[in-house]
Amino acid sequence: MVAFVRGKWLIFLAVVLLVLASLILASCAAGTSKGTISGTVTNSLTGGPLIGATLTTDPAIEGVDIETDDSGSYSASLPVGIYTLTFEKQYFESYTETVSVVALEPASQHVALAPTSPVAVDAGEDEEGSPGGTATLKATAEPLDGSTVSGYEWSQTAGVAATIQNANSATPTVTLGDPAAYKAELFDHLDTLDRFMVQAVNPHSLEEAEAATFTVTVTTSSGTYSDTVDVTVDLTYVVNTGIRNVPIGLPVLLHGKIQDAYSWTLTSPSGSGAALDDSSLQNPAFTPDIAGKYILTEANSGATLDIYTGTWTGVITGQDASGQPVADAACTMCHDGSIAPDKFSPWAASGHAEILTQNIDDPQGHWSLGCASCHTVGYDTDADNNGFDEAVAAEGWEVPHGAVGNWANMLANYPDTAGLANIQCENCHGPQQSEAHMQSSPRTSISSDVCGACHGEPLRHGRFQQWEESKHADYTLAVERGTSSHCGRCHSGQGFLEWLPQLEAGNPGNIETEITWTAETVHPTTCVVCHEPHEQGKISGEPNTATVRIEGNTPLLPAGFKALGVGRGALCMTCHNTRNGAHNDAVTTTMDDHAPHVAAQADLLMGENAFFVTVGERSPHSYIEDSCTNCHMQLTPPPAELSYNLSGTNHTFEASLEICSSCHGVFDGGSLQEAIEGQLEELKTAIEQAITDEIAAQTTGRGTVTLVGVAADGSDVVITGAGAVTAVELTESHGRIAMDITVNGTTYEHVRLASDTAVGAGTLVDSAAGQTIVKAAWNYFLIHGDGSNGVHNPSFANRVLNASIDALK
């Protein structure tokens, strides 16, 4: 029956098409090749006509523009055929319909468009202003539901506080904040540190600080409706990397440590007219006007900053047979690996060295001078300092349409402009022509601010802001722990870079060289900690050629094992492991109260460092190409507000459970995590009960358990009977397995199971039961510290937790 009905419909459709075709042929034969379509367009809410609604046809007909008249009507003569008509009007949803135009048979199409909102409110075009100046806002309201406007109300929703006059009118005037307020706003958007420094400025923070947002709310008889508008100022401050080697002609922002008062002094080179804008501020600014050394001194702290200034040079003099740039021999005669490290060879093969080159040579390229502030050396039209903009003006180079050969032509006919093209040494190290040339400190920094000057401009390049949201950007942790030889290996950028050669030589222990960085200079895990900046690769999309410092196989890790064949994830695993040597039944004879380091991801992925189970059960997830970085950076898109169409690698490093479906269908990992969370809680409860039971066993008869030095006055607490302990909670204290224990109504926190207990001549963990407790606790913190709740290695996590629970029974 179904097949019979389907057949009848097919016959019917064929007949219709034949009739239509015959009509078209007949009209053509008769000399008539056009037909007429007409109709009305109305408002679906009111039924009233829509004036000025437009109709577009697909296929488009040259010379035919269709628009409704004062009655909402339209009419057009079109060649015969089948068309897709799209009806559009501002503030209304578009509507699409397919129609057939047949000669001698006028067609009609009546359409009712739905408003996008009952009342269309427009706060007007974004305005430009200046600090302390005024701007007039212009709102319009068009009721599309037949309601009547009864009032306007303006308010400010973001940015430097402004004063709004006539806030209850459609056209109020706003008086913007003064320059000092805008400077304060800029620092609110910057992630400043408590140290004396040149303040780096990234594009995103600068753009946010320059904009003030205003909202107009329109009240009608049907409700309230709103829209927003920005008033943007052009601040005098500019994007900079935060290093102490800067170009002349551009303002330099300073930042001081938090203190009660400031008294800055600027000592300029002879002939300079530079001056501080306000010497009593925490964040003064000045603009160097000639090359030389500028000395900033803050009297109340005694802090001094030496800032060097100069002009741009550029290093590109040609290209080799492979198309890579050739650097000026005046640079390479030293930077060839003999006197100074050879950084030019890896740079020449990197994406930095060809970003302009490959764009102007690409017929599909889209390069413009809007890209020049990052893709060239010294493009800053507000200053005269021998940058790319001056070379363009002097030689008359114009941005060409993308085509092969443009770069060769630029080298041949515009050599000075080409010499400053692409991302070069000076983009990161500051002007070559300055007194800082032979000094390292003013010209180099491992701060992510250096990269953020270009990679900090959402929506196009937002990796810097993504990184700021990650735990890698934790300066507080770097200051607290990054200056020790143990923690500094992974909690400071300087420490990791100092430790890495030692690690690759087979020694994963503490840093053996001198710790030269301090709380005033330490940085966390910044961009250059993971990426060697001179050979960072070319493409982070498809194919991904980005490079990291360790790939493929890890060296012997602090956790006592190697991870093989893990791609770029090898770098992550270098620090994301338990970092306390090998721990398992085969190698650990007696266990103390050391806990695994909380970043236990590599151990879980590789199935290492657990008790009561066979270790080495490697997770299938560890075999995924590039392991960690695949799921956390490539498959998981970056945040929408910090990326362009969710493209690029995700430098927040937070993986989404939604990506599980790419391999596991509808499974998203959530149910697995819930199960592991339940097992973790069960194990924790079992450990706490086992501790309580062991204390009871040790205090049977005349035995005692002493908590050493845990009382508020530093004295011991002696437990003489099981009834004295009313609560035990498992915790961790500075890398040790510990407990919060309530004895005779008083709670003592972070009591380490071995280090802070005494039972006879030993500790609470010396007995067989005590050993089982600390091993089970190690397993608990291993799975808990991994943070994935089993996702990294489901079967291993499940076995470890179940075996631990069973061992305590």
Q: Which residue has the tokens 């017929």?
A: 363
Q: Both ends of the chain: CA-CA distance in Å?
A: 67
* Per-residue exposure over 648-682, b if at least 16 CB sit within 10 Å of its own CB, e if not: bbbbbbebeeebbeeeeeeeebeebbebbeebbee
Residue 25's pLDDT band, with cuts at 50, 70 and 90, is very low
pLDDT at 486: 96
Higher-confidence residue of 502 and 20: namely: 502
Cα dist. 695→690, 718, 727, 759, 776 in Å? 9, 11, 12, 9, 17
Q: Where are the domains of the chain?
A: 2-113, 119-233, 321-423, 506-664, 671-808
Give the DSSP letter of residue 324.
P
Separation between Cα atoms, residue 649 and residue 633, nearest integer Å: 5
Per-residue pLDDT tens digits for 710-764: 999 999 999 998 899 999 999 999 999 999 999 999 999 999 999 999 999 999 9
Classify domain 119-233 at the CATH superfamily level. Immunoglobulins (2.60.40.10)
User: Quick check: helix, strand or coil at residue 605?
Assistant: helix
Q: Which residue has the tokens 């915790």?
A: 731
E strands of 139-205, at which residues? 140-143, 149-158, 163-165, 173-175, 197-198
Q: Which two tokens stand for residue 271?
A: 């002939």
User: Quick check: helix, strand or coil at residue 461?
Assistant: strand
Task: Tell how strand 111-113 and strand 34-43 pair up.
Answer: parallel
pLDDT at 532: 95
E strands of 276-405, at which residues? 285-286, 292-298, 303-310, 316-319, 325-327
pLDDT at 541: 60
Going by C-alpha positions, the residue among 297, 298, 232 that lies closest to residue 259 is 298
Helix (H) or strand (E) holding 803: helix 794-808
Going by C-alpha positions, the residue among 493, 483, 490 that lies closest to residue 448 is 493
Q: Which residue has the tokens 């047979």?
A: 321
Q: What is the pTM of this model?
A: 0.88
Separation between Cα atoms, residue 524 and residue 475, nearest integer Å: 6
What percentage of the chain reaches a pLDDT higher than 90?
A: 88
| Burial bucket for residue 767 (CB in 10 Å: 0-12, 13-18, 19+) | middle
- Taken in order 565, 570, 574, 578, the sign of the CA dihedral is negative
Report the pLDDT averaged over residues 662-690: 93
Question: To 5 degrees, how large is the angle CA 649–CA 655–CA 657?
Answer: 130
Residue 137 has pLDDT above 70, yes or no: yes
Q: Could you tell me how far CA 638 lies from the centroid of its own chain?
A: 7
In sequence order, the 6+-apart residues with CB closer than 8 A to the CB of 94 are: 86, 87, 88, 113
Going by C-alpha positions, the residue among 800, 322, 450 that lies closest to residue 600 is 800
E strands of 537-666, at which residues? none
Q: Which two tokens stand for residue 806?
A: 């069973």
Residue 648's pLDDT band, with cuts at 50, 70 and 90, is confident
Report the pLDDT averaged over residues 296-312: 98
Give the DSSP letter of residue 353.
G
Cβ atoms of residues 741 and 728 within 8 Å:
yes
Classify domain 2-113 at the CATH superfamily level. Carboxypeptidase-like, regulatory domain (2.60.40.1120)
Least confident residue range of 170-184, 390-404, 455-469: 455-469
Other CB atoms within a 10 A radius of the CB of residue 627 amount to: 26
User: Quick check: helix, strand or coil at residue 743?
Assistant: strand
**How many Å is the Cα radius of gyration of the chain?**
35
Report the pLDDT averaged over residues 94-108: 92
Report the pLDDT averaged over residues 143-172: 97
Residue 23's pLDDT band, with cuts at 50, 70 and 90, is very low
Q: Do 119-233 and 2-113 fall under one CATH topology? A: yes
Per-residue pLDDT tens digits for 457-467: 877 789 999 99
Residue 7's pLDDT band, with cuts at 50, 70 and 90, is very low
pLDDT at 667: 79
Separation between Cα atoms, residue 443 and residue 63, nearest integer Å: 61
Separation between Cα atoms, residue 240 and residue 252, nearest integer Å: 8
Residue 19's pLDDT band, with cuts at 50, 70 and 90, is very low
- Give phi and psi for 425, each to the nearest 5: -55, -45
Cα dist. 60→69, 84, 100, 512 in Å? 21, 9, 14, 74
Residue 21 has pLDDT above 70, yes or no: no
Cα dist. 687→47, 680, 767, 770, 787 in Å? 72, 11, 15, 10, 20
Q: Could you tell me how far CA 805 lies from the centroid of its own chain?
A: 40
Amino acid identity at 339: I
- Give phi and psi for 739, each to the nearest 5: -145, 150
Helix (H) or strand (E) holding 21: helix 2-29
Separation between Cα atoms, residue 779 and residue 585, nearest integer Å: 12
What percentage of the chain reaches a pLDDT higher than 70?
A: 96
E strands of 12-139, at which residues? 34-43, 54-58, 66-67, 73-79, 81-88, 95-101, 107-108, 111-113, 119-122, 127-129, 134-136
E strands of 478-591, at which residues? none
User: Quick check: helix, strand or coil at residue 296?
Assistant: strand
pLDDT at 15: 43
pLDDT at 123: 98
Report the pLDDT averaged over residues 394-403: 97
Per-residue pLDDT tens digits for 262-275: 999 999 999 999 99
